[in-house]
Amino acid sequence: MTTDRTHRNRKRALRIAHFIGLFIAMSIICIPGLWIVLNSFRPTVEIMAKPPVWIPNELNLDHYRAMFGGNGQGGVPVLTYFRNSMVISVTSTIIALLVGMGGGYAFARYRFKGKAALFVGLMATRAVPGVALSLPLFILFARIGIIDTHFGMILAYVAMNVPFTVWLIDGFFRQVPRELAEAAEIDGCTRWQAFWRVEFPVARAGIASAGIFAFLTSWNEYALASQLTRSVYSKTMPVGLLDFTSEFTLNWGGMCALAVLMIIPALILTFLVQKHLIAGLTFGGVKG
Amino acid sequence: MAQVHLRSVVKKYGGLQVVHAINLDIADGEFVVLVGPSGCGKSTTLRMIAGLEDISGGEVLIGDRVVNDLPPRERNLAMVFQNYALYPHMSVRENLGFSLKIAKRSQSEIDRAVDDAAEILSLTPLLDRKPGQLSGGQRQRVAMGRAIVRHPDVFLFDEPLSNLDAKLRTQMRVEIKKLHQRLKSTIVYVTHDQVEAMTLADRIVIMRDGHIEQIGTPLEVFERPNTTFVATFIGSPPMNMLPARVGGGRVVLTDGTAFDIPPGHKVEEGQDVIFGARADNIMPVGHSLPATEHVAEVKMSVQLTEPLGTETLLFAQLAGQEVQAKMLNPRPVASGEVLTFQINLDKCHLFDAETGASLRV
């Protein structure tokens, strides 16, 4: 009896410790984000207060109102930035996914000369920090006249994302048994039909996760975008945050409000595809 | 329905040859089992018939068409894979009807064919489930259903039962046999399990290292094996193989024990041979079948027994080798007990010690 109770108490204590540990870890991850959301609704005085005001006295939409207001009222072209970000991120993600699917499938299914070297080479490009490329890219883009254009940004982001999507999708296709495509071919499919009707739907969880990563990389990227965009025609939202800085002041409230707007599409997208992400690759088609 | 012919079929991977010019004629409606140990080329041969592997040399004919360069979809075959290869994102109904859908058949025709197949294989209650929700045996039946829906010329089975447990395997073996009797279709079946081969096949093709060792009915390969390999591969327990030499018109084992030469063999004086006898043909006196014309008697000490109910398997020593024998109407046997065994020489074999080929004429 006593040992039973001690055992039970220890189990309960462990569970509580586990919970506290998780709470602390989650707090460290979430508090900066929450702080941004909170600050976007607070008056500047409160944001700048020292010591910090943890519990807000007043919440309002002033920063949002100002942000969407005209020039001179602290307004920035939010909708234009949003559109730029959307066009650049969505287009570059679609292209990176298509190339990634082709490349990933080829690496997973076919044997060809120099395959290993090519794969390592592709991965090595990820080892170069993006910001180190910004100056060469700037010079190159300026020479061929694609600086400050959607096309230039899309090109840069596709190049950045393709090695990653190829690598990720290759891994997912490797988990799709070769026999599925073979069974489809025997069932009357062409190679192409076997891919689209069988292999693609089975690997779509992996392709969706590659898509999310590619989209978020493009959507949040700042270092390259700040060099390669100049005007409202191509500036993306992260670069737009800089509009809130001026020579002597920083409009933290406005910056936070724009950051919140930036987070929303990413959150929506993650929610939409999380079913696929969680479903993962739990196959039942072959003996597991 | 159709015949399948392999004419000097070769498969090479770069410089490595895995199938060596094999020839095989499979009649319409025949159930042929390719059997052999891992790496003997049996699955590769099946995949060449299916069109999933390129043929490096020779010809494969289905019906009277050479299909070497035809893609799998144009060969009108169905194949059941070892891991079932069901489409995990489709329901059982969609899995069964997939080939007809690709062939652009009408929905009513697809439904009818799927319902028929489901009826035959007792899959009707499972039609709306996904493969992930099925047990191993059910998945296996869906895989078979997917094959029969199409009414193919030839069915190919690639070790379809090896992922099932022993009980289910026996059950599915019966189902496959029934299916063959019902559909009367040509079946090429690959397995490494000789029991499956013996029980299912009209004819067995025994393969080894990319060559065909012997083709014959189950009884032929069991009773008249061409080589020591076939003799030890087919039959359970495997045939006892004892090295011997022909001397004085008799077969002399290494310890001097001598038997008459089994009838129907041609040997030369002094020739090194291998004496082969199945456990069924070595039985203790008083626990054996009625004596035949040619019987040898030998005393052996029993080391171990395996009671199987109606009979007991005895492990004894002869000429320094372990020999398995059978005891009918068994009685308890103590370890170390010496018994007199009768060997039915009519059913024994002699093989050339060097080549392993049968010396039967």
* Per-chain mean pLDDT for chain A: 86
> ipTM score of the complex?
0.84
Q: Per the domain annotation, does A94 fall within a domain?
A: yes
How far is residue A13 CA from its own chain's centroid?
38
Considering the domain architecture, whether residues B287 and B192 belong to the same structural domain is answered as no
If one counts the domains in chain A, the total is 2
Using the beta-carbon criterion (under 8 Å), do B87 and A179 form an inter-chain contact? Answer: no
Considering the domain architecture, whether residues B212 and B337 belong to the same structural domain is answered as no
Q: What is the pLDDT of residues A79-114, one digit of tens each?
A: 899 999 999 999 999 999 999 999 999 999 888 888
Considering the domain architecture, whether residues A175 and A262 belong to the same structural domain is answered as yes
State mean pLDDT over B301-308: 92
pLDDT number for residue A72: 63
Domain endpoint, select from A16, A33, A68: A68
The pLDDT confidence band at residue A279, using thresholds 50, 70 and 90, is low
State mean pLDDT over B64-80: 92
Most A CBs within 10 A among B62, B70, B84, hence the mutation to make, goes to: B84
Domain that holds residue A58: 2-68
pLDDT number for residue A276: 67
Per cent of chain B over pLDDT 70 is 99
**Nearest-CA residue of chain B relative to A283?**
B88
Considering the domain architecture, whether residues A118 and A189 belong to the same structural domain is answered as yes
Considering the domain architecture, whether residues A97 and A191 belong to the same structural domain is answered as yes
Q: Tokens 């320094």 identify what position?
A: B320
- CATH number, domain containing residue A167: 1.10.3720.10
Q: What is the pLDDT of residues B195-225, one digit of tens each?
A: 999 999 999 999 999 999 999 999 999 999 9
Query: H or E element: which one contains A269?
Result: helix A252-279
State mean pLDDT over A66-73: 73
Domain that holds residue B148: 4-227
Question: Residue B299: exposed, middle, or buried by beta-carbon count in 10 A (0-12, 13-18, 19+)?
Answer: exposed
**What 3-state class would DSSP assign to B143?**
helix
Q: What is the pLDDT of residues A225-267, one digit of tens each?
A: 988 988 888 899 999 888 888 777 788 888 899 999 999 988 8
A183 contacts chain B (CB < 8 A) = yes
Minimum distance, in Å, between the CA of residue B50 and any CA atom of chain A: 8
Q: Per the domain annotation, does B234 fall within a domain?
A: no
Minimum distance, in Å, between the CA of residue A96 and any CA atom of chain B: 25
- Range with the largest mean pLDDT of A246-250, A281-285, B6-10, B63-67: B6-10
**What 3-state class would DSSP assign to B28?**
coil
State mean pLDDT over B259-265: 91
Minimum distance, in Å, between the CA of residue A165 and any CA atom of chain B: 23
If one counts the domains in chain B, the total is 2
Contacts of B160 in chain A (CB under 8 A): none
* pLDDT reading at B267 higher than 50: yes
Angle made by CA atoms A108, A172, A86, in degrees to the nearest 5: 110
Q: How far is CA B101 from CA A178, B81, B150, in A?
A: 21, 21, 11
pLDDT number for residue A285: 43
Strands, sheet with B349-352, edge to edge from the N-terminal-most edge strand: B258-260, B250-253, B240-247, B272-277, B349-352
State mean pLDDT over A27-52: 87
State mean pLDDT over B90-109: 94
Q: How far is CA B171 from CA B71, B150, B161, B272, in A?
A: 34, 24, 10, 45
* Per-chain mean pLDDT for chain B: 92
Considering the domain architecture, whether residues B257 and B196 belong to the same structural domain is answered as no
> Which amino acid does the sequence have at A115?
K
Q: Per the domain annotation, does B30 fall within a domain?
A: yes
pLDDT number for residue A277: 65
Which own/partner contact pairs does B66-69 have at CB distance under 8 Å and 24+ positions apart? none
Tokens of B285: 């006196």
Q: Tell me which residue of B264, B266, B194, B205 sits closest to B235, measured CA to CA.
A: B194
pLDDT number for residue A284: 39
Q: Per the domain annotation, does A167 fall within a domain?
A: yes
Considering the domain architecture, whether residues B263 and B202 belong to the same structural domain is answered as no
**What 3-state class would DSSP assign to A244?**
helix
Using the beta-carbon criterion (under 8 Å), do A184 and B146 form an inter-chain contact? Answer: no
Query: Which residues have CB under 8 Å from B359's CB, separation 6+?
Result: B265, B266, B267, B273, B350, B351, B352
Alpha-carbon gap, residue B69 to B46, rounded angstroms: 15
Residue A257, phi-psi category: left (phi > 0), alpha (psi -120 to 50), beta (remainder):
alpha
Question: Residue B195: exposed, middle, or buried by beta-carbon count in 10 A (0-12, 13-18, 19+)?
Answer: middle
Residue A284 is nearest to which of B103, B131, B150, comparing CB atoms? B131
Query: H or E element: which one contains B355?
Result: none
Tokens of A86: 């959307």
Contacts of B87 in chain A (CB under 8 A): 180, 183-184, 198, 202, 285
The pLDDT confidence band at residue A282, using thresholds 50, 70 and 90, is very low
Q: Per the domain annotation, does A285 fall within a domain?
A: no
Angle made by CA atoms A233, A76, A212, in degrees to the nearest 5: 65
Considering the domain architecture, whether residues B33 and B121 belong to the same structural domain is answered as yes
The pTM of the full predicted model, rounded to 2 decimals, is 0.81
Considering the domain architecture, whether residues B65 and B152 belong to the same structural domain is answered as yes
Using the beta-carbon criterion (under 8 Å), do B73 and A188 form an inter-chain contact? Answer: yes
Most A CBs within 10 A among B87, B154, B165, hence the mutation to make, goes to: B87
* pLDDT reading at A286 higher than 70: no
The pLDDT confidence band at residue A58, using thresholds 50, 70 and 90, is confident
Considering the domain architecture, whether residues B211 and B326 belong to the same structural domain is answered as no
CA end-to-end span of chain A? 43
Q: Tokens 């009222």 identify what position?
A: A73
Considering the domain architecture, whether residues A122 and A226 belong to the same structural domain is answered as yes
CA end-to-end span of chain B? 37
Q: Per the domain annotation, does A127 fall within a domain?
A: yes
Q: Per the domain annotation, does B10 fall within a domain?
A: yes
More confident residue, A277 or A142: A142
Angle made by CA atoms A269, A274, A276, in degrees to the nearest 5: 115
Alpha-carbon gap, residue B114 to B146, rounded angstroms: 8
Q: Per the domain annotation, does B215 fall within a domain?
A: yes
The pLDDT confidence band at residue B23, using thresholds 50, 70 and 90, is very high
